[in-house]
Amino acid sequence: MKPAVIEIAGIQKTYNEGSPVAAEVLHGIDITLHAEEFACLIGPSGSGKSTLLNLIGLLERPSAGSYLLKGSAIQMASDDERTRARLETLGFVFQFHHLLPAFSALENVMLPGLIRYGEFSPGQRANAVELLQAVGLGDAMHRAPNELSGGMQQRVAIARSLALSPDLVLADEPTGNLDSRSANEVFTLMRRFNETKGTAFLIVTHDPRLADRCDRIIELRDGAIVADAPHHRSDGDRPAT
């Protein structure tokens, strides 16, 4: 078995703790995700999917439970340590791409490197060019986001998520704002990077057709995991041999 990227156990999240309106939204979540996995997280609206993804992505802290990131306890780390761990290990793709409008596609892909190292470097630029070529945007790298279609912008976001070679990409409804054709293209790109680079993915989706193309389906309902099992995807998504 591949090494674990994340191991969370007994994770709980309560908002407004200690107040009369305290609300526990996650109730003892246990998940281990290994290198090279391609998993999805499904469940109805309000089940806690985005909260769980934010906790895994170190954007929020759990109220209870343990979290190991590549074998190191992270739940009680300082903000600086969490930021460093996030940059070194995790990539993010959201439903709305969150590209900076004043930056070109190329500069947006280079942005994680700027945040991590404090400057743009020739190596970062070469890597960003390679990623944009890989997502089919080699001819559009100098365009501003408003000059790109929604599907193209999301492809830029995928390239940006891979800029620092993360072990795991967290994708929150990455195709939810796209038409069917663009959604399929974006999903296929994530699948390809999983297979060629070994990047693990955890994808939140409401689309059962996309869930059916993942290798593992985790179902969250009312803040608890009700199912977690391997899934045999369709042959159309398997790499060519």
Tokens linked to 219: 């179902």
Cβ atoms of 167 and 135 within 8 Å: the answer is no
Tokens linked to 150: 């929604």
Question: For each successive 10 residues of the chain (241 residues), what is the average pLDDT?
Answer: 91 87 90 94 88 91 92 86 88 79 90 80 87 85 89 86 89 79 81 88 87 92 91 56 33
Q: For residues 29 and 225, what is the distance between their CA atoms, to the nearest angstrom? A: 7
Cβ atoms of 40 and 229 within 8 Å: the answer is no
**Nearest in space to 146 (alpha carbons), one of 180, 92, 103, 93:** 103
Cβ atoms of 158 and 193 within 8 Å: the answer is yes
Q: For residue 124, what pLDDT is reported?
A: 84
Q: For residues 202 and 39, what is the distance between their CA atoms, to the nearest angstrom? A: 5
User: Domain ranges in the chain?
Assistant: 36-60+90-237
Sheet containing strand 168-172, strands side by side: 90-94, 168-172, 200-204, 38-42, 216-221, 224-230
Predicted TM-score (pTM) of the model is 0.86
Cβ atoms of 37 and 43 within 8 Å: the answer is no
For residue 183, which amino acid is it?
A
Cβ atoms of 175 and 210 within 8 Å: the answer is yes
Q: For residue 235, what pLDDT is reported?
A: 47
The CB density around residue 100, as the number of other CB atoms within 10 Å, is 11
Q: What are the residues facing 41 on neighbouring strands?
A: 204, 218
Nearest 5°: the CA angle 104, 109, 114 is 100
The fold of the 36-60+90-237 domain, in CATH, is Rossmann fold (3.40.50)
Q: For residues 150 and 101, what is the distance between their CA atoms, to the nearest angstrom? A: 13
C-alpha dist (Å) from residue 30 to 9, 142, 173, 223, 226: 4, 43, 22, 12, 11
Alpha helices, DSSP H only, in 90-149?
Answer: 105-117, 122-134
Q: For residue 241, what pLDDT is reported?
A: 33
Q: For residue 165, what pLDDT is reported?
A: 85
